Amino acid sequence: MRLCIDISQIVFRGTGVGRFTHGLTQAIIDYDSQNKWSFFFSSLRQRLDPVLKESILKKGCVLYEYRLPPSALSFLWNTIHHVKVEKLIGMHDWFITSDWTEPPSCMKKATIIHDLVYLLYPKTVHSQILSNQKQRMRWVKRESDVIFADSMTTKTDIEKLLHIEGKRIHVNYPGVSILKPTEDNIQQTLQKFNLEKPYILTVGKIEPRKNIAGLINAFCKLQNPPFQLIVVGPQGWDKKTTKQYAQTKMVRFLNYISDVELSALYASCLFFIYPSFYEGFGYPIIEAMRLNAPVATSNVSSMKEIAKDSALFFDPNKREDIVSTLKKLASDEILRNKLKKKGIIRSRQFLWKQYFETLVRILKKSY
């Protein structure tokens, strides 16, 4: 088959969609020896990672690069739905999209839907993203031949909220890959950010859906905690939370950090906590498990599905439940060790080779 995939979202470093796009791109390069792949990339200011670009070209794949602003493509493809994508990339058997734009095309189209947060929690989504997703999904519903969902939770949401028949939707759990840090990596990272163990860690873009404010409020209810709360993630549109707690002595915001530094923090934290209100998958949960961190997470949406029995769960809407979870994990070493063992086993089930093989198999069958 001749396939083309839009990888423009890869530039959003430190986000789930950015990590997903990079992981899938690398899986295509690593595992496909039978199909012909092309990659579409468009960004006004950002550039594709030169190492990845070299890998794409060395593999013999075609790379279509354009310097177009995302807002312009969104208007062109999501709003007025004009100019077929083959005008830019030529004809292929499949064009695969995800997350941002849905261009018109004569080709068969497959779409990856990570979540439907814009419908379930619209107040937690920036107005521009909300408008963009509403327009995009209108075309997905009408035109996509195959839809991939990151979890069974997301598949159910798609059926209920978009009224798309289940036979078009296929659950495909993303792979999760993360660097294993050395002891030197860990020590260098702790020194760089002036951190001391023990500390607890959370990871996520600073926006309302991630419930960082709720976690900090619960953390501040602990009396003289013997550890800091470290918040890693790029600044989103929820700047109020950052401003309100930036000066709190026991809470540290590290913003975006490198993959090696993130791995080091996962590997050396007392435990990892993920308080999000809603996720279509929840990358940090599996990343933390992969690096032997005990995990606590919300008991809603896909987080319960993804973590299964390998995490401690709490209600993200109840501060007292988060407080209780913090106390329990902080004081119970036996529980932490139990979660570590279960987490390692669970994390090994999310492989990029498996994701890639499922994707290609379904596209071949649906062609």
Q: How far is CA 205 from the centre of its chain?
A: 10
Residues of the chain with pLDDT under 50: none
Using the structure block, give the residue that is written with the tokens 């949406």: 301
273, 294 in Cβ contact below 8 A? Answer: no
Q: What class, spelled out in words, does domain 183-347 have in CATH?
A: alpha beta
In sequence order, which residues have a C-beta less than 8 Å from that of residue 94 and are 6 or more positions away? 1, 2, 3, 4, 107, 108, 109, 110, 363, 367
How far from each other are the two terminal CA atoms of the chain, in whole angstroms? 9
Q: Tell me what pLDDT residue 126 has.
A: 82
Q: Tell me what pLDDT residue 125 has.
A: 82
Bridge partner list, 313:
297
Q: How far apart are CA 7 and CA 268, in angstroms?
A: 32
Q: Tell me what pLDDT residue 127 has.
A: 87
Two domains, one topology: 2-175+351-366 and 183-347: yes
For residue 357, the SS3 value is: helix
DSSP secondary structure letter of residue 123? G
Q: What is the pLDDT of residues 310-360, one digit of tens each?
A: 999 999 999 999 999 999 999 999 999 999 999 999 999 999 999 999 999
Domain definitions of the chain by residue range: 2-175+351-366, 183-347
Q: What is the pLDDT of residues 112-121, one digit of tens each?
A: 999 999 999 8
Using the structure block, give the residue that is written with the tokens 């976690």: 215
In sequence order, which residues have a C-beta less than 8 Å from that of residue 143 and are 6 or more positions away? 102, 104, 105, 109
Using CB atoms within 10 Å of the CB of residue 289, give its burial: 0 to 12 exposed, 13 to 18 middle, 19+ buried: buried
Q: Give me the chain's average pLDDT, please.
A: 94
Q: How far apart are CA 10 and CA 39, in angstroms?
A: 12
Radius of gyration of the chain (CA): 21
In sequence order, which residues have a C-beta less than 8 Å from that of residue 90 and are 6 or more positions away? none
Q: Is 83 left (phi over 0), alpha (psi -120 to 50) or beta?
A: left
Q: How far apart are CA 342 and CA 295, in angstroms?
A: 10
Q: Tell me what pLDDT residue 238 has.
A: 66
- Alpha carbon of 132 to those of 88, 128, 148: distances in Å? 21, 6, 19
Q: What is the pLDDT of residues 199-232, one digit of tens each?
A: 999 999 888 899 999 999 999 999 889 899 999 9
Q: Tell me what pLDDT residue 243 has.
A: 66
Structure tokens at 125: 């989504």
CATH superfamily of 2-175+351-366: Glycogen Phosphorylase B; (3.40.50.2000)
